[in-house]
Structures are given as C-alpha cells and as structure tokens.
Structure 1
C-alpha cells in the first residue's frame, strides 16, 4: 500500500466515525483525536474500520502511531508493504 492509499483509507475511516467533520480542513499533521473531538469509543471504531479496510490487524501498541493522518499513513504503508 502506498502512503497515498493509506491516507485515503484513514480519511474514509475517520469519515465513518465523524461524518459531520470537515476532513478537508484537517491538516495532515494535526492530532485528529483532538481536532475531531473523538472519544475513546470513536477512536476504537476508527481503528476497527481502518483495520478492516487495510486487512492489517492494528494492535493497541500501534495506537501512538495513529495520532495524525500523516503519521498514520506512514505507519500503515510501512506495515502493509507495496501494492
């Protein structure tokens, strides 16, 4: 998966848990939990949606890598490999 593909998966997963949010206004390096006011259940729903969409099991130890769209995309692209 490329970083761009990973970014798109993250944005789709965020749109599922925060459909009222304007993701176009979210800077790639912003902490999306704070910016979108996600509570812990919202975040877990995001992780589940992202894990399902990427076919990569995201563990609790991975959560710190999922603070921003940019960091999350780098993390996911590195874990899922090319293509």
Structure 2
C-alpha cells in the first residue's frame, strides 16, 4: 500500500464512522478526532473499520499513532511492508 492509498483508506474509514464529516477539509496534520468531535466509541469504531479494511492488526498501544491523517497513513504504510 502506498501513501495515497493509505490516506484514501483513512478518509473512507472516518467517513464510514462519521458520515457527515468533511474529511476533505482535514489537513494532513490536523488531529481529526478533535476536529470532528469523535468520542471514544467513534474512535474505537474507526480503528475497527481501519483494521478490517487494511488487514492490519491494530493494537491498543498503536492508537497514539492514529491521531492525524498523516500519522495514520504512515502507520498503515509501515504495516504493509
């Protein structure tokens, strides 16, 4: 998976959890959980969707890396190498 594919997957995963989210307005380093007012259940759902779509097992300790589009994309790309 390349970085563009990873970014698309992150945006699609956020949109599936928060359907009215304007993911196109998010910058690569914006903290999307805060900007989209995702509560802990939304975030957990996002992590589950992302894990299913990517096929990458996401551990609890990985959650700290999943705060921005760029950070989450980097996590996905490194997990597929």
For normalisation by structure 1, the TM-score amounts to 0.94
Q: CA deviation at 1:34?
A: 0.1
Which residues in structure 2 correspond to 1:1-83 (within 5 Å)? Answer: 1-81=1-81
Q: CA deviation at 1:80?
A: 1.1
Q: CA deviation at 1:29?
A: 0.6
What are the ranges of 5 or more consecutive residues in structure 1 without an aligned counterpart? none
Q: CA deviation at 1:65?
A: 0.5
SS in 2 for 1:28: coil
Structure 1 ranges of 4+ moved more than 2 A: none
Q: CA RMSD of the aligned region, Å? A: 0.6
- Alpha-carbon distance between aligned partners in 1 of 2:27 and 2:6, rounded to the nearest angstrom: 16
Q: CA deviation at 1:28?
A: 1.1
What are the ranges of 5 or more consecutive residues in structure 2 without an aligned counterpart? none
The aligned length equals 81
Q: CA deviation at 1:21?
A: 1.2
Q: For residues 5-52 of structure 1, what are the alpha-carbon distances to aligned partners after superposition, in whole Å with 9 as ceiling and x for unaligned?
A: 111110000001111111111111100000000000000000000000
